[in-house]
Structure 1
Amino acid sequence: MQEQLQELVDQWRVEANIPGVAVGIVHGDTDIVITSGIESVDTQLPVTDNTMFMIGSTTKVFVATAAMALVDDGLLDLDTPLIEYVPELVLADEDATRTVTMRHLLTHTGGFTGDASLMAGWGEDALGRSVSRLNELRQEYPVGEVFSYSNSGFVLAGHVIAKISGEPFEDFLARRVLEPLELKNSACLPWDVMTHRFALGHYIRDGVPFVSNETGIDRGMLPCGGMWSSVRDQLLWARYSLTGQRPGEGQPLEESTRLLMQTPQRPAARMFEEVGIGWLLTRHGSTQVVRHGGNVSNLQVSEFLTVPEKKFAVTVLTNALGGGIGKRVVDWALANLAELPVPTTLDAVEPAPAVLDAVTGKYQAGSLAMTVAVGDDGGIGVRMGSAQDLGEYEDIVWPPAIPIVFVGDGTGEFAAKADATRVLGRFVIDENGQSGLLEFGGRTAKRV
């Protein structure tokens, strides 16, 4: 099986023009590691099992773990308004300032704009400077009412952790989470990464990968997706996440707290089903999946998925975006190693013309825009990109529109036409028969 997967990863990587890939799998008592390609098209150094990649938003689970360590210490209460810990906190909405809690942040229900550039450089005060700009962000929804994936919320969570602990966020994360689990090839700051082997992010132009001269994120936004880690460290993290197993005596959390983080807290926005504390929860058929993943400005992309009842996990780290290689590896591993049945294809429903009129248009979630349009072939597609009026992410090469098909009653939920085994998103139809909201990519976007 390992030889077969190695051949497939090599093939898929070349097809997608991705320079380097690392795959890690927990399968019972066995760890499987597959590496393919190079860390950088400039250095031509091969990817190893200790090469550090940026894991993007998978960082959020580590941040949530750091917050829960403070809960275990009796220093943080998930439901106490954050203003009691950070008196200088000012959001655009006064009610939100008074009521937002760490539970809201860790479950993506703070309600303020979740996708916005809060870049503040690499200085020691960067995180505080980013948080001081949260008052520039709109309060899109009342606190606690709507799940919408929020990078901004995790920036604030990292700042709260630093304030309560009295340490720089990166130092507390290392001391309370990384070091107890002996994650020796995981770090947050570039000067800590530089002493290790690491992969550089690449962008793809006309099928050719080029090294990016940026990390895609800075210290001011680090808690939402700036951590680096190797595939070996991700396997250690996977075993701890699955069973509490760890290489030494140290542990970041009480066992009950570790399990609580994977317990559903509330429904999420599609493509997710529920949210735990930091973790995103879905199902593969009827089997519970606990997961996260990350994308750093389409330069480095990761997948991280566990199947608790199977004691199974898979992680995929890449230094470019392309070809859906993460999903292909995950699907292959679930079918061939975890031996989970392929989910049943959902029945496609032909939407009425009125439904197409109701859902087509542009939706916005902060600096991200989702465009729903009918293509030349008469089919409908959804494309994520930059919100033009905000000018964010202008240098990113965005993937093309995803052709979709309606499922269920044909009015709200949809799946990808190429893979209709799971619900990809949902249009929320209002009392006037119009789609006012779009759940896509975990965001709850408002129609513009």
Structure 2
Amino acid sequence: MLTSNELAERLARLAEKFTVTGASAALWHDGTLVRAETGTVNVDTGAPVLPGTLFAAGSVTKTLTASLAMTLVDEGRLDLDAPVTAYLPGFTTADPDRSAAITVRMLLTHSSGLPGNYLPDLPPGDDVLERLMDELATLNVTGEPGRRFSYSNMGMSTLGRLVEVITGERFDVALRSRILQPLGMTATADAEEMLLHSTAVGHVVDGTVRRVPRLRVWPEYGPAGSRLWLDVEALIRFGRMHLDGHPLLSAAAVEQMRTPQYDDFWGCLPGCANFGLGWGIFREGDDPVLTHSGANLGMHSTLYVVPGQKVVLAVLTNSSTGGMLHSTLCTELLDEFFDVQGPAPIAPPESPFEVDGARFAGRYRASDGQVAVEVHDGQLHARLLPDAGLTEWDRLMGSRTGGGQAVPITCVDGERSRFVLDTGSPGSHVAVQFFEPDPDGRFTLVRLGTLYERTP
């Protein structure tokens, strides 16, 4: 078994290699916990990362939100296959027919078609999720609800609002009383409480290392991951709940959450072979591996749960380059100690397929931006045109897929209209897939990270 000293050595080495300001990692295996930390919580103060340092949970929060919802399913207060309007009678979008078809399950599986990264950055307040529902009424649903995976922060915050209505409590209060406190997690969404702890702040690494200008943004996405801070042992405690069940969550609910929901998941979410209810599924089959990752301003989080071997692995970092540390460390530990490998990375073919570019070319729209698919010198290109809020998010997270540059996409499967986009990083490609041709054979949907619908 790995020792804490060995984990500390690996963590420090990778933090130096990838210029990560601070990191915390923990591995729990069948009753034994090893934990390590390195670096600083803030380059401006030099304060060290401590065993109890709080980092941004990021989108790992979605697994907590999903678990919270499943406690209501256990109590018979929530039906996964009921329409959202059964609990939120005023729930609607700019497309009332599509929004009426959205069920609770679709929120958990990211198949609702609700916006992925629409970022209004509403003023904080106890009613922020209620106000977000007013914003939603002006936005479109992309595609037919329930048919396609499209990662949605808006969908998860809608689930959070649904929790508020059912429990009669503000979302963060319900999360604390029903999940965080019973599990003994050191975690909070309260900024004043964060001041009482060693708290990490995010950093942007782009030739220099500098602290991000704001600690937290987008309060309306608390259930999706914008507000919660926790320490690495808190993630371990939460992950253990999903090994064999827990008094908080029935074995049936745990099993439902790890059950694959898609027949075809190619290219939907990096590092996942399928998706359950709130959980990414790293490995399918009789011995599944669950995962979820997250990001906040200059911060990253990762959680793996291996039920068959009673393993929970968690990593937290506070740099825009942290994702590379996460993927390297987790791949090494899961493979070396537990013989766990995930899906093969997406890569271009040796011989690209020839396609009729006219069927793909056009402009596709979602609430957080557009994708322009163009033909240049006989080669299909994709040009991401994110809205202003998402452009700033990409900059702070070190994304290389935006910026309005036309990037070649290469067909890897002509029959299923699958392509890959080269991000410019060695060995890193993004999946692109087109769906649902119209009567003229022109595709009406494209997934490039999120789902976009062709504009007239």
| TM-score higher than 0.5 | yes
Q: Which moved more, 1:81-90 or 1:398-407?
A: 398-407
Deviation, structure 1 residue 219: 2.7
Q: Could you tell me how far apart the structure 1 residues matched to 2:301 and 2:444 are?
A: 31
Structure 2: unaligned runs, 5 residues or longer = 402-406
Q: Could you tell me how far apart the structure 1 residues matched to 2:382 and 2:273 are?
A: 20
Deviation, structure 1 residue 216: 4.0
Q: Which moved more, 1:344-353 or 1:332-341?
A: 344-353
What residue is the counterpart of 1:25 in the other structure? 27
Q: Could you tell me how far apart the structure 2 residues matched to 1:382 and 1:312 are?
A: 40
SS of the residue corresponding to residue 337 of structure 1 reads helix
Q: Which amino acid aligns with 1:400?
A: R
Deviation, structure 1 residue 125: 1.5
Deviation, structure 1 residue 239: 1.5
Answer yes or no: is 1:126 the counterpart of 2:104.
Answer: no
Deviation, structure 1 residue 82: 2.3
What residue is the counterpart of 2:68 in the other structure? 66
Indicate which of 243, 251, 257 corresponds to 1:255.
251
Label 1:285 to 1:399 Cα distance change in 2 as closer, same or farther (>3 A).
farther
Q: Could you tell me how far apart the structure 2 residues matched to 1:14 and 1:195 are?
A: 29
Query: In the alignment, is the contact (CA less than 8 A) between 2:348 and 2:410 conserved in 1?
Result: no
Write the mapping of 1:38-77 to structure 2, written as runs, cut at 5 A: 38-77=40-79
Query: In the alignment, is the contact (CA less than 8 A) between 1:26 and 1:238 conserved in 2?
Result: no
Q: Could you tell me how far apart the structure 2 residues matched to 1:342 and 1:60 are?
A: 21
Label 1:31 to 1:103 Cα distance change in 2 as closer, same or farther (>3 A).
same
What residue is the counterpart of 1:217 in the other structure? 217
Q: Could you tell me how far apart the structure 2 residues matched to 1:344 and 1:160 are?
A: 37
SS of the residue corresponding to residue 42 of structure 2 reads coil
Deviation, structure 1 residue 174: 0.6
TM-score (norm 2): 0.83
Label 1:252 to 1:369 Cα distance change in 2 as closer, same or farther (>3 A).
farther
Deviation, structure 1 residue 331: 0.8
Deviation, structure 1 residue 434: 6.0
Q: Could you tell me how far apart the structure 2 residues matched to 1:435 and 1:142 are?
A: 14
SS of the residue corresponding to residue 133 of structure 1 reads helix
What residue is the counterpart of 1:98 in the other structure? 100
RMSD (Å), alpha carbons = 3.4
What residue is the counterpart of 1:114 in the other structure? 116
- Identity across aligned pairs (percent)? 27
SS of the residue corresponding to residue 338 of structure 2 reads coil
Indicate which of 266, 272, 281 corresponds to 2:262.
266
TM-score (norm 1): 0.85
What residue is the counterpart of 1:88 in the other structure? 90
What residue is the counterpart of 1:197 in the other structure? 198
Answer yes or no: is 1:319 the counterpart of 2:324.
Answer: no
Answer yes or no: is 1:393 the counterpart of 2:390.
Answer: yes
What residue is the counterpart of 1:428 in the other structure? 434
Q: Which amino acid aligns with 1:221?
A: Y
Label 1:415 to 1:140 Cα distance change in 2 as closer, same or farther (>3 A).
closer
Q: Which amino acid aligns with 1:197?
A: S
Q: Which moved more, 1:313-322 or 1:212-221?
A: 212-221
Q: Could you tell me how far apart the structure 2 residues matched to 1:92 and 1:161 are?
A: 23
Write the mapping of 1:49-448 to structure 2, written as runs, cut at 5 A: 49-183=51-185, 185-204=186-205, 206-225=206-225, 226-244=227-245, 251-267=247-263, 268=265, 270-271=268-269, 272-283=272-283, 288-297=288-297, 299-322=298-321, 324-340=324-340, 348-354=349-355, 364-368=365-369, 387=386, 390-396=387-393, 397=395, 398-401=398-401, 407=412, 412=418, 414=420, 418-419=426-427, 425-428=431-434, 436-441=444-449, 443-446=450-453
Query: In the alignment, is the contact (CA less than 8 A) between 1:19 and 1:41 conserved in 2?
Result: yes
Query: In the alignment, is the contact (CA less than 8 A) between 1:115 and 1:365 conserved in 2?
Result: no
Query: In the alignment, is the contact (CA less than 8 A) between 1:120 and 1:127 conserved in 2?
Result: no
Deviation, structure 1 residue 329: 1.0
Label 1:380 to 1:308 Cα distance change in 2 as closer, same or farther (>3 A).
farther
SS of the residue corresponding to residue 392 of structure 1 reads helix
Q: Could you tell me how far apart the structure 1 residues matched to 2:163 and 2:344 are?
A: 43
SS of the residue corresponding to residue 100 of structure 1 reads coil
Query: In the alignment, is the contact (CA less than 8 A) between 2:85 and 2:100 conserved in 1?
Result: yes
Deviation, structure 1 residue 100: 2.2
Label 1:74 to 1:286 Cα distance change in 2 as closer, same or farther (>3 A).
closer
Q: Which amino acid aligns with 1:337?
A: F
Q: Give per-residue Cα distances to partners, 1:310-330, cap 9 Å, x unaligned.
A: 322322111121161111111
Label 1:356 to 1:76 Cα distance change in 2 as closer, same or farther (>3 A).
same
Q: Which amino acid aligns with 1:270?
A: C
Label 1:374 to 1:12 Cα distance change in 2 as closer, same or farther (>3 A).
farther
Q: Could you tell me how far apart the structure 2 residues matched to 1:115 and 1:256 are?
A: 32
SS of the residue corresponding to residue 348 of structure 1 reads coil
